[in-house]
Amino acid sequence: MTSRFWRMVVASIWFLSGSVAGVSADTTSIRIVTQSFAPLQWDNDGEPDGYVAQYISAVIDRVEEKVPINAAPVEFMPWKRAMLTARSVPNVLLFSLSRTQEREEEFLWLGEVSPYGQYFYQLRSNPEIGVTTVAQLKGTGLRIGVQDGGNLHAYLRKIGLETSGQLMPITDYRQGIEMLYLGRIDLLPLTGFLAEASACRQGYDGAQLRPVVYIEDLAKPLWAVFSRGTDPAVVAAFRSEMAVLKESGYLDNQMRIHRDNWQSRACGE
């Protein structure tokens, strides 16, 4: 074989290696973080489940056809840690997040993933609380469970409830439900359409929950976001595919199916 032949072989190998390396270098690796919040998203025996998780998975499948990405498995973690991760590392996808003025510049907002509205709940076995606004809870001495570092926590601090010593930090709603039924707190914020099923799922009588006051100031849709520094082409692709799928009715259909299934599984028909 001539030296010219071997030079061609070496050149071909170099070209192919460079091409593969180029594709690898251009691929954006995406980390996905969230908190378990059924039936929106939750860890079902090691697999992500829920209507938001299903929606995001479908969006990723569509985005992969448009831009080179490598999406890691969903990581379920405490909300405070998930927020810290998305605030400090590029190429992190986070859901489901309330959009507030304070958070506006912290993230790259992709699209709405779920409606969201909370009430403070008490147990029907306790005396009824006669308030019509959240602010009226200040000074009542009622112990209020609130997720540490969450949007509601910041809101309650802003209106002065933390200085009254009424706020009791909880890790998540599941711990809060246990504390409420065990009498360790008096009030717990829960999403209206999920409250009863969430209690039933933990073995408690969901019918014992009584809504006290609607948290009107925080009644906003939940969003999916990317962390700052994420590739603009990836961000644009996610925004586009999320809009297309939502317009098709896919998200609404998944929402109905998962809500109905969650209620029947938790509390029975």
Rounded Cα distance between 96 and 257, Å, is 18
Q: Is 157 part of a structural domain of the chain?
A: yes
Q: Are residues 129 and 212 in the same domain?
A: yes
Residues 95-115 have a mean pLDDT of 94
| pLDDT(69) > 90 | yes
- Classified as helix, coil or strand, 135 is helix
Q: Are residues 128 and 208 in the same domain?
A: yes
Q: Are residues 86 and 140 in the same domain?
A: no
Q: What percent of the chain has pLDDT over 70?
A: 90
Q: Is 182 part of a structural domain of the chain?
A: yes
Which range has highest mean pLDDT (8-12, 163-167, 224-228)? 224-228
Give the torsion sign (CA, 42, 48, 54, 56).
positive
Of 218, 238, 254, the position where a domain reaches its end is 218
119, 189 Cβ separation under 8 angstroms: yes
Q: Is 18 part of a structural domain of the chain?
A: no
**Total domains in the fold of the chain:** 2
Q: Is 7 part of a structural domain of the chain?
A: no
| pLDDT(116) > 70 | yes
Q: What percent of the chain has pLDDT over 90?
A: 72
Q: Are residues 133 and 212 in the same domain?
A: yes
Q: Is 124 part of a structural domain of the chain?
A: yes
Q: Are residues 36 and 100 in the same domain?
A: yes
Q: Are residues 41 and 157 in the same domain?
A: no
Q: Are residues 144 and 214 in the same domain?
A: yes
Q: Is 201 part of a structural domain of the chain?
A: yes
| pLDDT(23) > 50 | no
Q: Are residues 203 and 251 in the same domain?
A: no
Residue-number span of the structural domain to which 137 is assigned: 118-218
pLDDT range class, residue 220, cuts 50, 70, 90? confident
Structure tokens at 81: 């840690």
| pLDDT(45) > 80 | yes
pLDDT range class, residue 97, cuts 50, 70, 90? very high
CATH number, domain of 162, equals: 3.40.190.10
| pLDDT(6) > 60 | no
| pLDDT(107) > 90 | yes
Q: Is 136 part of a structural domain of the chain?
A: yes
Q: Is 167 part of a structural domain of the chain?
A: yes
Q: Are residues 194 and 225 in the same domain?
A: no
Q: Are residues 42 and 131 in the same domain?
A: no
Q: Are residues 68 and 106 in the same domain?
A: yes
Q: Point out the least confidently predicted range of 80-94, 123-137, 144-158, 254-268.
A: 254-268
| pLDDT(175) > 80 | yes
| pLDDT(4) > 50 | no
Taken as a whole, the chain contains a residue count of: 269
Cis peptide before 96 (omega within 30 of 0): yes
Q: Are residues 111 and 122 in the same domain?
A: no
Q: What angle do CA 60, 150, 122 make, to 5 degrees?
A: 115
Rounded Cα distance between 101 and 103, Å, is 5
pLDDT for res 25:
57
- Residue of 148, 221, 130 whose CA lies nearest to 189: 148
pLDDT for res 269:
57
| pLDDT(214) > 80 | yes
- Classified as helix, coil or strand, 44 is strand
